[in-house]
């Protein structure tokens, strides 16, 4: 058994390799196939109604609202198949991905989410004071309300799914191979961060996004293993995505011009940006584990091996 109860949640279930392989194929393959089918259906319908094909493609790939609706459909499907995989293929309780307790801890969720939102807001205020030219006030009431509503509906599903998969399903599954927390943190954070490379429209921005995602993923992994639960990580991830879409967005992030409150005009700097999110991550860890630092330190001890107490 592991020294980390959250990782031990995997044991009551069925953990054959084929179950992981099949579940992961379902989780990531089904949304792609169904998304293509839905896209073809609507494109075909609109073309039969006399719409121009190039106009449809351009709007589908560049319109942020259409893109967010596409994201919503994709992640709802992925969430559904994650549930099916855990509940019926692995024959586990779905809650075992979240916590070692019998219920979801909403206090942790709100504490983590609001703390991270406050730190990001502090970063915004500092940017406005130190370099006001790096931000453009971009408020337009109707599009802003629409993107706000969509964000509040979509990101709780999207970000929760990513936490459930990367720091729940994947981390617990890899925990069958190694109980070394540092290895689990590095591997899951790397797998989580690499897809962010495709969010950037040019190399420097892509590298910047990957590095920031890795640091954030590593931080959320520490919190998950330290608290033996995903609630705080889910709150942080949801509020992070809402902030990056509704409050401050970058026009080159996925090539979309979100109607956010502010638009970032600064050029990405992987060194400075990574250092910044690392500092904020450390502050978040201090907030979450104030008076409970032993819960973090135990993750990095050399004797934290496969066999535990």
| pLDDT at residue 307 tops 60 | no
What pLDDT score was predicted for residue 53? Answer: 57
What pLDDT score was predicted for residue 250? Answer: 84
> Quick check: 60 and 66 in contact, CB under 8 A?
yes
Q: Name the one residue in this structure whose structure tokens are 């050029």.
A: 267
DSSP state of 136: E
Spatial distance between the Cα atoms of 260 and 286, rounded to a whole number of angstroms: 30
Domain locations in the chain?
A: 5-300
N-terminal to C-terminal alpha carbon distance within the chain: 8
Share of the chain above pLDDT 70, in %: 91
Over residues 85-134, the pLDDT tens digits come to 999 999 999 999 999 999 999 999 999 999 999 999 999 999 999 988 88
Over residues 30-45, the pLDDT tens digits come to 888 887 787 777 777 6
| pLDDT at residue 256 tops 70 | no
Over residues 67-98, the pLDDT tens digits come to 788 888 889 999 999 999 999 999 999 999 99
Spatial distance between the Cα atoms of 77 and 18, rounded to a whole number of angstroms: 21
Contacts 24+ apart (CB under 8 A), 91-95: 91/13, 91/14, 92/9, 92/10, 92/12, 92/13, 92/14, 93/12
């Amino acid at each position: 058994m592991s020294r980390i109860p959250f990782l031990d949640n995997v044991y009551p279930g069925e953990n054959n390799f084929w179950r992981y392989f099949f579940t992961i194929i379902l989780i990531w393959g089904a949304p792609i196939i169904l998304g293509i089918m839905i896209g073809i259906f609507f494109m075909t319908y609109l073309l039969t109604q006399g719409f121009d094909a190039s106009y449809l493609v351009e709007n589908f790939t560049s319109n942020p609202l259409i893109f967010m609706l596409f994201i919503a459909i994709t992640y709802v499907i992925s969430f559904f198949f994650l549930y099916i995989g855990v509940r019926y293929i692995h024959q586990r309780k779905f809650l075992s991905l979240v916590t070692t307790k019998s219920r979801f801890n909403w206090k942790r969720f709100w504490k983590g989410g609001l703390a991270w939102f406050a730190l990001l807001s502090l970063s915004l205020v500092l940017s406005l004071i130190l370099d006001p030219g790096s931000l453009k006030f971009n408020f337009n009431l109707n599009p802003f309300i629409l993107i706000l509503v969509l964000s509040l509906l979509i990101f709780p599903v999207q970000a929760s799914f990513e936490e459930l998969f990367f720091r729940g399903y994947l981390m617990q599954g890899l925990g069958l191979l190694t109980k070394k927390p540092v290895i689990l943190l590095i591997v899951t954070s790397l797998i989580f961060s690499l897809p962010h490379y495709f969010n950037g429209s040019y190399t420097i921005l892509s590298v910047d996004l990957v590095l920031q995602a890795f640091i954030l993923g590593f931080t959320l992994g520490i919190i998950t293993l330290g608290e033996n639960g995903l609630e705080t990580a889910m709150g942080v991830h949801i509020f992070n995505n809402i902030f990056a879409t509704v409050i401050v967005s970058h026009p080159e992030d996925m090539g979309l011009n979100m109607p956010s409150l502010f638009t970032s005009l600064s050029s990405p700097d992987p060194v400075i940006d990574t250092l910044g999110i690392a500092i904020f991550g450390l502050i978040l860890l201090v907030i979450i584990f104030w008076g409970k630092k032993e819960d973090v330190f135990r993750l990095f001890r050399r004797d934290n091996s496969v066999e535990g107490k």
